[in-house]
Amino acid sequence: MECCAIVESGFPPRRCGRPATQVSLPCPCGRPDAVGGPYCDEHGGEARARAEAETDWNYQAPASVGSATAVHDAGHMHLDTRDAYLVVRPETGKEGGPSSDRWLAWLGIGSFLLGVRAPGTVPHRRRREHMADYRARCALDGSYAFRSRHDALTEATRVWRERLAAHVHEIRLARGGTLDWGVPVQPLTDPIIIDATDRNAWDVATALPRRCGPGVSLISGLRPSGEAP
């Protein structure tokens, strides 16, 4: 076999071509063998070829994951912006301006959005309560509108933690009980809070320092935490 190491860029790139060693590792559940190399001694030889083969998801994934198709699907599961961002803003008033007494909250930015519902149920009408006042209370209880920014943040943070834990558990379960292989998954310990009072939430998010390093953007368009690229 000829060494596949690239020695000169271009199209197509020029490869070494010297006599080389290839490594093939068997994988469980009928998955294709994991192949590394071939590389000549000057470009790492058998050790480099073996290390390359060992990065194959079909080799890394536990047998419980199943077929190569299951490995592909589980390996590409990743966190998204709902796992990283918590957005709050005042609800728009009747004249188009902000309404400071009602707040909205959602998880995620861009195409990933999940509205956070205010807890509670539709209340009973109070004795002698005007219908307009009753309807105003109904619009708040059990809806997506919160009475204050604090209430919106408190409930949205609770929902964020609960959802993130469930999503990480789902990915871990699909990968055979581990996150040691596949697209990196690095959940944040706290949500990134964005006040979208007068700016687009995506614009605010992309201007903030990232908490997690790059590593997934070429696959998912996001970082391992679900943050913007």
Annotated domain spans of the chain: 6-60, 81-220
C-alpha 224/C-alpha 213 separation (Å) is: 8
C-alpha 192/C-alpha 104 separation (Å) is: 16
Q: Across-strand partners of 91?
A: 99
Q: What are phi and psi of 161, to 5 degrees?
A: -65, -40
Q: Which of 48-52, 137-141, 159-163, 177-181 shows the lowest mean pLDDT across its residues?
A: 137-141
pLDDT-derived band at 128, boundaries 50, 70, 90 = confident
C-alpha 206/C-alpha 228 separation (Å) is: 6
DSSP structure class, residue 55: T
Q: Is 120 left (phi over 0), alpha (psi -120 to 50) or beta?
A: left
How far CA 11 is from CA of 8, 37, 73, 217, in Å, comes to 10, 20, 32, 25
Model confidence pLDDT, tens digit, residues 69-94 = 999 999 999 999 999 999 999 887 55
pTM for this structure?
A: 0.85
C-alpha 113/C-alpha 194 separation (Å) is: 13
C-alpha 139/C-alpha 144 separation (Å) is: 9
Asked if residue 43 lies in contact with residue 51, where contact means CB atoms within 8 angstroms, the answer is no
**Helix or strand or coil: residue 151?**
helix
Both tokens of 184, joined, read 């990196």
Model confidence pLDDT, tens digit, residues 168-227 = 999 999 999 999 999 999 999 999 999 987 788 999 999 999 999 887 666 677 899 999
